[in-house]
Every structure is written in structure tokens, then in C-alpha cells.
Structure 1
Amino acid sequence: MPHEVLIGDLVRFYLEKKKEKVQEKSASRKKDYLRDMQTLIEFWSERFVSDINEENCIAYRKGKALNTARRQLQDLRAIVNFAELKGKLDKGGRVLDYALPPKPKARIHYYSRDEVAKLVWTAYRRTNDAIGDENGHKTSLHIARFILTAVYTGTRAERIQEASFVKQEGRPWIDLERGIFFRKFEGEMVPTNKRADPVRIPKPLLEHMRRWKVTGRLLPRRFCFDAGDEFFVVDKAVEEVVPFLS
């Protein structure tokens, strides 16, 4: 019965059964997913399934972005439903209230060519005069390069973040010789709604990328295509430069 089953046990059961699917996720998605699971465990681990109600779910949402809370509560619902399907739980026909935040509104604004150019130029010029030489230190090169790559290739952020100029297991590969961006690694299974087919790199971007690799300063602040570097998640690339638009 719901009052006898700990949610923490169901999370662990779910992760054990789904471990192969979790391993198939890209490095950044897997990290984010496991972080979400840890957040669920920290709040719900010692609570019972019967404790899933509006009051507790609203308490869980506190301090979290609505999109994040919605995603994590949906994960919790999937965990409970999976446990019931596998006979680990009998809700006895009881309906649980997850108090999901409303779905975010669809994006309605698209940047024009001129707006994108202004964002890139602003990101490229932005400096911190307190560090570097007499001209200051460019602090947003990674933003400019990220935007250019995303716009020219239509590639999702995490694919750009994980891509490498060196063919490497488990990472997308930018082949500068042939001018092709292999946006998924060999053997990777990609959902049909998140296709990551190889794409030819437009000539202007290809010329940029060849320069970025030669200089050895492709994307500063840990966000780099070169193998072995840590990832810098550019979740708010545009927001970082908008205040500096002139």
C-alpha cells in the first residue's frame, strides 16, 4: 500500500532497472539527470508514496525554477508509475496529486540576422579591463563562438558543448578537413524528436573554426571543443551579453 512504500526505495529500483538507458545519455544530460535524481532523493527518500500530495509537492517546488520543478516532479511520477507497473507498488486505485507547475509558454520570439550579428559582436568585444594587457581581457569569446555555431548549424546546446575537434569516443566530432559536424557519437541512440544527423559546416563558420583550433583558444572559461576540457554550460548565453548591447 502507498503508506508502506518508501519513495527512496522506488527511486533506487527505477535507476537500477533503467541504468542502461541512463548510460546512453550524453555526458551532460546524464549529469543533469542524476543531479535531478539526487534532488528527489534528498527531499522524498524518507517519505512514503502516500505523502505525495499537493502540500508536499508545493513544498518541494520552493527555491526551484518552475521548469526544473515540473521536470523533476514528472520524473517522480514516472518512477511511481513504473514501480506500480512492475508490481512493486499497489496504489489501490488512489490518484496522487503531484501539483505540477504549469507548462511553460511556447517561445514566440526569433532573433533576426541583424539581432544575432549584434549579439555576436557585443560578446566578441566585451572585456574586463582589470585583467589582461592594456586592452583588457575578452570575457565573452565563448559566447560569441557558441552563438555562431548554434546559428550556422542549428545544433542543440549540449551537442556544441561536448563537441571535439578530435575524434573521441562518446563525443560529437567536428571534422575540419571535410567540413562536417558529426553531432552524435558513433553508436549513440538519439530520440526521433532530437535528431542529430551530420551537418555540413557552412564555409564562413568553417573558416572561423579552423582559426579557433589553430590559436588553441577555441572557447575560454572551460567551454571548449578540444578533448579533455571541462564543460561550461551556456544556459544563458544571450542573457550574459544583452545588458552590454549598445
Structure 2
Amino acid sequence: MWYIIDGKNQLSLGLFWDPHDPDGTKADLLLSEYKVDKAKGPRTAAAPSNADEIPLDDILDHMEASNPEKAGATDAEIRNRTNLLFCISELRKYWSGKYLSDVTAQSSVEYRNIRTGVRWKNQTKESDSSKIRVTGTQSARRELEVLNSAIQRYAREKNLTAIRQAELPPKAQPRDEWLTYDEVARLLLACRGRRWDPEADDWIRDARGRLVIKDPYTRRRRAGIARFILLAAWTGTRHDSVLRLRWKKNDSAGYVSGDLRTLFRRGDREADTSKSRNPCRIPTSLQAHIRRWQENDDKRDLLNIVHQQNGTGYNAYIQITFKQIVKDAGLDPERITPHTLRHTCAHWMKNEGVPIWVAADYLSMTVETLENVYGSHTLDSHELVVDAFAHRKRQVSPDRRSNASAAPVTLRVPSDPGRSNGRGDRWTRDWRMSKRPNRRRTP
């Protein structure tokens, strides 16, 4: 859930994290409106009865008019506007002709039932029944979120105080997909033209045992995506910020430092948003790749770090090409998205025992977000428990200690839980220092 923190006041925006809007563009828009509305000062309240007489068509028209097509809009802005217009068109099919007073819990449930189970527009009647995709409750939830946002915007600009809000369906559990080191390596090899055979659990080979490689054009076209995968997985930087990275210091986009040790996620004069984009250190293994990229790009005098084969930056999202790469790597393209690489970086740091406050600062997010979204454990992170039981002291049986005097048990509680060793927390705080070295037995 997105909130606006204004001093001691906390205002809920009614928006949850959306995988189709990982950068929180909707939240940024509402934050800007809140600042403008606050600067205008207190407003005059309208009679509650007038609010219920407002046609929902006027509210949706106002929402659409408030989001005109901009010249020079970024890829994220174009994509978000397209999704917004689609949601408005779906909302009109049910709410057109109704009034604000008709927005009730019952009508919200009715809308959810109507929108659930609808075949996607790109699914034809001849499509394979096993691959047919239909809308779910989360589609209805996103559209009702747009309706609530439209009502809130209309109320702010028309000085209304008595408004209604649609009741949202329950939010689905956040998708917590992430990749292992081997799976990321498979993505990179797929960028080089290889294809994975799930049945053989190996790369596809011809009759003579040689690797089957895609054509040179496809390999050149995917070279820029390989850079994106490395940068996103090893730094946890968001999708849009990685695509806009530059080689030299500038005001409008992120860049790398001259010594290639620091990645600045936003330009020097770019306005900060609710999605923080703080600088981060570049891992040593990634610095070698960046140094090689820089040597090649300097020969062509290129500006973008992640670029197409003609040297220009990506003007649109890379979802289509990325899905093809994921499929060639033998992974599920419906579950693995570019944002999955950010989850991957978080899980790698957690499994390596990086303290949670360090990981949150590196990913440029709060500790609470890191725990809520990325905090689920894997079995690999339970090695500390296995190691602890392997080196436990031999316990005395109850009958042997019956005559012993009972001694009080003392549990030491650290004064600062945020800096404890973290054994009781969901994230590993400082497990690396508590691990014992492997003992080699002598013959």
C-alpha cells in the first residue's frame, strides 16, 4: 500500500504495489497532486447530497482529460497512460449512466464478478484451450483502483468532501519470483543465441552434438539485453533506470562514475520521487564487464550504456525481447519479468548474509518494504540452522540431571534489535560472522 507521509500525518492513496507499474508512477502522480492541493490552502466543503448526484461519466471524463498525451513522454508514461485508458474504457461498460451514489460495496462486488473470467482480447476461439487466458480478480481490482483515483481527483478539484469509494477485491500475494546464479547464466547464454531443452535439461544440440545457435542478427539484437540483465541483477536497479543509464555525468538520467565503481541511478537535476533512486556501489565482478563495454562504446562514441545494435537507446520497454530470451533459457516467460531481476538481487544478498539495513540501502528502499516484499526465505538460507545443530553440545538426559540443582535460564536481549545478530529475525543480520569454518578431518 502506498502512503503519503506529511509530518505526523499519514494519508493512504488506496494503491497497492502493481507488477505492471513497478516504479509507482500512479503514486508519484497522486503525490504531485497532493502537493499542489496543499499549496492552495483549505477548500470550501460542498453539500453531501450534491456529491451523490454527480454522474460517473463526468468523473471518468475528467480523469481522462487530466491525462492528455504529452510530447516527449517517457516510455513509462506512455505505457501507464495506455493502461489507464484501457481501465477507463472497461469501467464505462458497467458504470456509464450511473451516479456517484451507486458506488457501493454491492455494486463493487457485482463489477468484480462481471469482470472475472473474461477471455483476453488477443485470445481467439481457435486458441488452444490449455493456453486460454482470462481476467482474474486482480484485473477488476486495478480498474476499481482507477475509479477510486478518479473520484478522489474529481473531489479535490471540485471541492467535494462527501465522496464514495469502491470496495476493492482482496489483494493477491506479491509475486516473489527470483533467479539463481545458474538461471541468470542461462539468460545470458540465451542472449548469445543458445536454446534450452527442458526434457534433456541441457542446451539444444544437433545430431553431431554441436550447440544449435541462433542467427547472428538475433545475437546482435540481444547484446543490449545482456547488459541490462547483468546491471539489473547485480545492482537491483529498477527497469526504467537501467535502460536510461549513460556513460557520462548528466542531469537527465543515471550514469556511472569515472572510476566505474559507483552507479548513480538518477541524473543530477532529476526530481526525486516516491521511488528512491540513491547511488550504489558496483560489484567488482560487474566492474570488469562495464570496463569492457566502455572500451567498445568509446570507439563508437556512444552515450547509452544499454543500447541497441545501432547504438541508440531503447525507445520502448523490452518485454517482448525479454520474454523470448526467457523462453529460450528454458524458464517461464509468464512469471519471469524484468522486475524479477530486482527480486533476484535482494534474494542473493539475503542468502549471502548481508545485513538487512545494508541491503535496503543498497536497493534504495525501506527496511519494511524489503521485509514485506522480498523477505520470504529459501532453504539455502537455512544452512545456519543445519550448521548450528551439527555443532550442538551433547544434551544430558532428564534422568541424569534429575539430582542437579535447577539453574535459571537467562536470555540476553540486545539493546538495539536492529543491530543484533538477527537470529530471530526474518532476514539474516550478521550470520556470516557466526558461521563456523569447515573442519577438515585428518586421516
TM-score by length of 1: 0.68
- Are 1:233 and 2:328 counterparts? no
**Distance between the aligned counterparts of 1:140 and 1:128, measured in 2?**
11
Larger radius of gyration: 2
Q: CA offset at residue 207 of structure 1?
A: 1.7
What secondary structure does 1:10 align onto?
helix
Read off the aligned partner of 2:327 and give its amino acid letter.
P
Check whether the contact 1:149–1:155 (CA below 8 A) recurs between aligned residues. yes
Answering whether residue 65 of structure 2 is matched by residue 28 of structure 1, we say no
Question: 1:146 corresponds to which residue?
Answer: 228
Residue matched to 1:78? 149
1:149–1:205 Cα contact (<8 Å) kept:
no
Shift of 1:89: 7.4
CA distance in 2, matches of 1:66, 1:240: 28
Partners of 1:128 and 1:138 within 8 A in 2: no
Q: Report the CA distance between 1:156 and its aligned residue.
A: 0.6
Which ranges of structure 1 fall in alignment gaps of 5 or more residues? none
**Equivalence for 1:124:** 192
Greater RCO between the two (CA within 8 Å, min separation 6)?
Answer: 1
Distance 1:18 1:234, change over 3 A: closer
Distance 1:40 1:232, change over 3 A: closer
Structure 1 distance, partners of 2:190, 2:280, is: 27
Asked if structure 2 preserves the Cα contact closer than 8 Å seen for 1:8 and 1:44, the reply is no
How far is the alpha carbon of 1:195 from its aligned partner?
1.9
Deviations 1:67-108 (A, max 9, x none): 5543332122122244446544745xx66445x3x4232344
Give, in whole Å, the separation in 2 of the partners of 1:235 and 1:72.
24
Q: 1:13 to 1:160 in 2, by over 3 A?
A: same
Q: Pick the structure with more helix per residue.
A: 1
Mapped partners of 2:141, 2:227: distance in 1: 31
1:16 Cα deviation (Å)? 7.2
Match of 1:219 among 300, 307, 310: 307
Which of 205, 209, 214 does residue 293 from structure 2 map onto? 209
> Aligned equivalents of 1:218 and 1:125: distance in 2?
19
> Distance between the aligned counterparts of 1:236 and 1:59, measured in 2?
34
- What is the SS of the residue equivalent to 1:181? strand
Q: What SS is found at the alignment partner of 1:140?
A: helix
Within 5 A, what are the aligned runs for 1:33-72?
Answer: 33-45=80-92, 46-48=96-98, 49-50=100-101, 52=103, 53=107, 54-60=109-115, 62=118, 63=120, 64=135, 67=138, 69-72=140-143
Question: What's the Cα RMSD here?
Answer: 4.0
Q: Distance in 2 between matches of 1:8 and 1:178?
A: 56
Q: Distance in 2 between matches of 1:212 and 1:10?
A: 53
Instruction: Work out whether residues 243 and 306 of structure 2, in 8 Å CA contact, stay in contact via their aligned partners in 1.
Output: no
What displacement does 1:56 show? 3.3
With over 3 angstroms needed to count, the CA separation of the structure-2 counterparts of 1:50 and 1:235, relative to structure 1, is farther
Distance 1:67 1:209 in 2: 41
Check 1:58–1:80 CA distance in 2 against 1; reply closer, same or farther (3 A cut): farther
Q: Which residue, 248, 251, 256 being the options, matches 1:175?
A: 256
Q: CA deviation at 1:148?
A: 0.5
Structure 2: stretches of 5+ with no match in the other structure: 1-49, 121-134, 195-212, 331-443
Matched residues, number: 227
- Residue 18 and residue 43 in structure 1: after superposition, are their counterparts in 2 closer, same or farther (change >3 A)? closer
TM normalised by structure 2 equals: 0.42
Structure 2 distance, partners of 1:7, 1:169, is 42
* Contact 1:11–1:79 (CA under 8 A) maintained in structure 2: yes
Question: Identity of aligned pairs, percent?
Answer: 19
**Rounded Cα–Cα distance in structure 1 between residues aligned with 2:236 and 2:176:** 17
Cα distance change on mapping 1:103 and 1:89 into 2, 3 Å: same
- Following the alignment from structure 1 to structure 2, what is the Cα–Cα distance between the partners of residues 204 and 74? 45
Aligned in 2, Cα 1:2/1:116: closer, same or farther, shift over 3 Å? same
